[in-house]
Structure 1
Amino acid sequence: MKVLRYTQAMVDEFVRAGYWTNKTFYDSYDRNARELPDQEALVDSQHRVTWREARDLVDAIATGWVEAGIPKSARIVIQAPNSVYGFLARAAAERAGLISMTAFATLRQNELEDILEKTQAEVAVIPAVFRGFDYLAMYRDLMVRFPSLRRLYLFDDVVPDNAPDGTKSLTRTAHHYLGRIDRATLNKRRFDPFLDVALLTTTSGTTGLPKLVEWPLAPRVCTSKGRIDLWALTKDDVTMAIAPHAGGAAGTLTYFAAPLCGAKTVMLEDFNPEVALQTMAREKVTAIGVVPTHLVRMLEKNVEAYDLSSLRFIRSAGGYLSPQLAREAEARFGAVITSDLGTQDKGSVSGCRVSDPGELRRLTVGQMLPGNEVRLLGEDGQIVPPNEPGVLWFRGPHSPAGYYRDPVMTAEVFDADGWCTTEDVVKFDQGCLWILGRQKDVIIRGGQNIYPAEVEGLMNEHPSVAAVAVVAMPDAEYGERACAFVVLRQGQSLALEALKDFLSSKKVAKFKWPERLECIDVMPTVGDSGKVDKKALRTQLTATAQFA
């Protein structure tokens, strides 16, 4: 299946410049199996496999799928918690020439129906039960509605009696085919890294059902190499997926980047802050992938009781990480925080080096990734003067091929030359991107722009604030005013007047101050992504507040 957006001219451009190569992620498994055969590759609470074992298991699973008659470019949904076999299934899909769609474990029938309808997936790889939820029952119903979905593979060793006919154990399939690997056939099913659709990802779904995004392998490999350079990642590192590997926060570090340099990956199947800290100490983890919520919950524990001396850096993504929380995490974990910018449907934009000064790592999203071009545009569509804020537009070798089989939507987002916008309002300073807010989230109060990220950054320095989100509320006089939703630190309180006094002490313009304060127990997020769901906050505000 050929990609929608990339043309041969674009491929030639990025290949000539050295950003794209013909390497795949499976190539890294194969190389590591030869060069680091006995080094551990993947670890979870049940399994530990070396690079040679990982490569052979990937080949065995892929062989089993080919012999089952699954055609090349068939779509396969992998709804996997963090696990060794979740990773192996993703790599095996690539090896077998199957287009994999890795779904968050939190997705349910409504979202999956949309995915299955769009992809006509033939195969799903799932747990029978996870976190008390019966996935097998859900997929049994989905198979009735979507006849294209004909095969289920379970991460479990034993297939329950009530499973649909033909359901197989992925682990048993892997071991059954270990002695029957057909590498010659698998080699013939190799994806073209430039023009074949190999991967599907989903957006976070903040505006409705998640959108499907199609990727060839070349831009994913390109971004992974860029991240490896920023993080100084090597074969001696031990990465850990604390956030779900289906998303970027942990997936970029562990599934995509780690194999390219031979680093080991440890998987935390279900987040528990104390288990996470214990695992980090036991496995001598050097890098973790988290969303900010994970850091908050771990910092509530006695971090100092665990030997985390091996930890080098923390990759936080998927949501806003306040400078205050970043400083606390760096001090208590003894590791540096690194941030970056990217989206599932537009691609990767920028990133901080682990060696950057603390202020830049905590307050910016770093420098543009190699090959990315950037423009900052004003409301008139013209490039803004130097040092002025503007809406971020970029193009480069780190972007996907568009929305899955949807040329109309793809053309609405990417122009003919490949330019697109993240819709972030940003500024350049000290060579780095500083995010001021989302274009759609900018609050216009009486003709003056309030950038929520700026106000949130200041409010996060208040000792009572654990998390904050600033959203617009309608106002008859000014059009919009700012409302701050705050999660308080344990045992703390905060009143609106005290908040205003605090912002006054920060010398910030008065028109930017929130004029309503809502203290809530938990900040709503979009699934497992960690992103604050500002749409939900605005809906809550509309439902509860009486506006002038």
Structure 2
Amino acid sequence: MKPIRYTQAMIDEFKGNGFWTDETFFDFYDRNAAQLGDREALVDSRYRVTWNQAKDLTNAIATAWASGGLPKDARVIIQSPNSVYGFLARIAAERAGLISLTVYPYLRQRELEYMMELTQASMVVIPHVYRKFDYLEMYKGFMQKFPSLKQVYLFDEDVPAAAPEGTKSLVTTAQEYLGKIDQALLDSRRLDTTGDVALLTTTTGTTGIPKLVEWPIASRVCTAKGRIDIWDLNKEDITMAVAPHAGGAAGTLTYFAAPMAGAKTVMLEEFDPRLALEVMAKEKVTAIGVVPTHLVRMLEEDIESYDLSNLRFIRSAGGYLPPKVASEAEERFGAAITSDLGTQDVGSVSGCRVTDSVEVRRGSVGRPLPGNVVKLLDDDGNQVPDGEPGVLWFRGPHAPAGYYRDEELTSTVFNPDGWSTTGDIVKLDKECLWIMGRKKDMIIRGGQNIYPAEIEGMLNNHPAVGSVAVVGMPDEEMGEKTCAYVVPKPGAEFAFKDMVDFLLSKQIAKYKLPERLEIVEDMPTVGDSGKINKEDLKKDIAAKLAREKA
């Protein structure tokens, strides 16, 4: 299946510059089997496999699928908890020339029906029951509704009698085909790394049905190499998927980057803070992939009673990480927390090095990844002077091919020359991108632009501030003024004068000072992302002003 957006000129450009290669992700399993064969590759609570075993099991599963009537480019949905066979299913799909869509275990009928209809998936790989939910029963219903769905594989070793006819165990099938691997067949179905769609991912919007994004292999390999470099990831590392591997928080580290570096990956099937800490200590984990909620939950435990001396960095993504949580986590875990910028819709933009200073890692999103070109534009589309904030636009080899089979929707994100924007207002300083806020969040006070992130970054360093959000409030004279919402740290007091004096000590322009302070017990959030819902805060302050005026 040809990617929807990549042109031959684009392919020639990024291949010619060395950013896109002909390497597939399976190639790194093949290399690791040759160089690190007897070393452990993948571990969960039930299985431990070496690189030799991982390669052979992948080839076995891929042979079963390729010889079982699935044509090249057939779509397969993999709904997998963190597990060894979840990883093997993903890499086997690539090896068999199939297009895989790996989705979160918590997705249900509404989202999955949309994905089934859009992709016309031929096969699904699922657990029978996970967290007391019967996935097999749900997909039995899908088989009646979608004629394209012909085959179900279970991660379980046993297939229940009530399963649809032809349902098979992935584990049993893998063992059965170890003696039937057909290398020639698999080689004939090898995906072109720039000319074929290999992966589909889902966007993580907070409203509506997630969109599907097309990815050839080359762009994902390119990004993984960039991450490996800034994380200093190598074959001595032991990564751990605490967050689901279907998402970027853990998947980028463990599924995409770790095998390329020859690093081992440990899977935590179900999150429990104590279990996570126990596994990290037992397996001598050096890097974990989490969402902020995982850090918050683990910080509630007696971290110091576990030997986490091997841990060197934490990849937190998928939601807003409050600075106070980041600081406490770095201190108590004894590991650096990385920052980066990217989305499923537009791809990866930048990232911080593990060795960067706290100021850079906490305040910026790092340097553009190799091959990415960035420009900062004003409202008229002109580039802003050096050091001035502007809307971030970027172009490079880390971007996806677009939305699945939808040229019109893709054109709303990428222009004909391949440029796209994240919608962030940033400034470029010390070679790093510093986010000042979203364009829609910018406050215009009497014609002067105020960037909330700048003020928030300062106030987050106040010893009495637990979390802060700065929003615009309506004003008849100025158009907008600035209001700061603050959750004080437990037992601390924070007054308007404290805020003003502290900000003035940072030598900021007086027009940037918040002109109102609202003390709250907690912040509204967007869904379960942990991100502060500023729209709710804007409505709140507007309503308060209206009542006061009345």
Say yes or no: TM over 0.5.
yes
Asked if the contact 2:424/2:438 (under 8 Å) is kept, the reply is yes
Deviates more, 1:212-221 or 1:475-484: 475-484
Q: Cα 1:126–1:460, aligned 2, differ >3 Å: closer, same or farther?
A: farther
1:368 paired with 2:371, answer: no
C-alpha distance after superposition, 1:100-143 (max 9, x if no partner)? 11112222222112212211111121222222333223323333
Which residue of 1 is the match for residue 349 of structure 2?
A: 349
Describe the SS at the equivalent of 2:428.
strand
C-alpha distance after superposition, 1:252-272 (max 9, x if no partner)? 111000001110011111222
Q: Cα 1:532–1:147, aligned 2, differ >3 Å: closer, same or farther?
A: farther
Distance 2:417 2:320 in 1: 31
> Structure 2 counterpart of 1:70, which letter?
L
Which residue of 2 is the match for residue 532 of structure 1?
A: 531
> Structure 1 counterpart of 2:208, which letter?
G
Cα offset for 1:407?
Answer: 0.6
Asked if the contact 2:293/2:530 (under 8 Å) is kept, the reply is no
Q: Cα 1:448–1:169, aligned 2, differ >3 Å: closer, same or farther?
A: farther
Distance 1:194 1:200 in 2: 14
Asked if the contact 1:424/1:436 (under 8 Å) is kept, the reply is yes
Distance 2:203 2:496 in 1: 35
Q: Cα 1:143–1:356, aligned 2, differ >3 Å: closer, same or farther?
A: same
Cα offset for 1:423?
Answer: 0.8
Which residue of 2 is the match for residue 108 of structure 1?
A: 108
Which residue of 2 is the match for residue 436 of structure 1?
A: 436
Deviates more, 1:404-413 or 1:487-496: 487-496
Which residue of 1 is the match for residue 18 of structure 2?
A: 18
Q: Cα 1:543–1:472, aligned 2, differ >3 Å: closer, same or farther?
A: closer
Which residue of 1 is the match for residue 319 of structure 2?
A: 319
Which residue of 2 is the match for residue 245 of structure 1?
A: 245
Q: Cα 1:324–1:135, aligned 2, differ >3 Å: closer, same or farther?
A: same
Cα offset for 1:442?
Answer: 2.5
Distance 1:252 1:485 in 2: 34
Distance 2:334 2:168 in 1: 45
Which residue of 1 is the match for residue 514 of structure 2?
A: 513
Match runs of 1:225-264 below 5 Å: 225-264=225-264
Asked if the contact 2:324/2:466 (under 8 Å) is kept, the reply is no
Asked if the contact 1:524/1:536 (under 8 Å) is kept, the reply is no
Describe the SS at the equivalent of 1:413.
coil
Unaligned runs of 5+ in 1: none
Unaligned runs of 5+ in 2: none
Which residue of 2 is the match for residue 217 of structure 1?
A: 217
Which residue of 1 is the match for residue 290 of structure 2?
A: 290
What percent of counterpart residues are identical?
63
> Structure 2 counterpart of 1:532, which letter?
K
Which residue of 2 is the match for residue 194 of structure 1?
A: 194
Describe the SS at the equivalent of 2:412.
helix
C-alpha distance after superposition, 1:471-526 (max 9, x if no partner)? 55666676556666666766778777876676566665465538464746676355
Describe the SS at the equivalent of 1:386.
coil
Q: Cα 1:473–1:539, aligned 2, differ >3 Å: closer, same or farther?
A: closer
Distance 2:140 2:201 in 1: 23
Cα offset for 1:322?
Answer: 4.0
Which residue of 2 is the match for residue 77 of structure 1?
A: 77
Asked if the contact 1:503/1:513 (under 8 Å) is kept, the reply is no
Match runs of 1:385-534 below 5 Å: 385-463=385-463, 466-471=466-471, 509=510, 512-513=513-514, 515=516, 517=518, 519=520, 524-526=525-527, 530=529, 532=531, 534=533
Asked if the contact 2:206/2:526 (under 8 Å) is kept, the reply is no
Which residue of 1 is the match for residue 275 of structure 2?
A: 275
Asked if the contact 1:504/1:510 (under 8 Å) is kept, the reply is no
Q: Cα 1:262–1:386, aligned 2, differ >3 Å: closer, same or farther?
A: same
> Structure 2 counterpart of 1:113, which letter?
E
> Structure 1 counterpart of 2:310, which letter?
S
Describe the SS at the equivalent of 2:309.
coil
Deviates more, 1:128-137 or 1:474-483: 474-483
Distance 1:415 1:366 in 2: 25
C-alpha distance after superposition, 1:370-396 (max 9, x if no partner)? 111110001111000110000110111
Which structure is larger by alpha-carbon Rg, 1 or 2?
Answer: 2
RMSD: 2.7
Distance 1:108 1:503 in 2: 47
Cα offset for 1:531?
Answer: 5.5
Describe the SS at the equivalent of 1:297.
helix
Distance 1:489 1:136 in 2: 47
Distance 1:533 1:107 in 2: 23
Distance 1:5 1:287 in 2: 34
Distance 1:543 1:65 in 2: 58
Asked if the contact 1:64/1:177 (under 8 Å) is kept, the reply is yes
Distance 1:522 1:167 in 2: 47
Distance 1:496 1:123 in 2: 60
Q: Cα 1:278–1:324, aligned 2, differ >3 Å: closer, same or farther?
A: same
Asked if the contact 1:286/1:311 (under 8 Å) is kept, the reply is yes
Describe the SS at the equivalent of 1:177.
helix
Q: Cα 1:445–1:127, aligned 2, differ >3 Å: closer, same or farther?
A: farther
Distance 1:162 1:501 in 2: 70
Deviates more, 1:138-147 or 1:148-157: 138-147
Q: Cα 1:539–1:480, aligned 2, differ >3 Å: closer, same or farther?
A: closer
Asked if the contact 2:469/2:534 (under 8 Å) is kept, the reply is no
Asked if the contact 2:2/2:197 (under 8 Å) is kept, the reply is yes
Q: State how many pairs are aligned.
A: 546
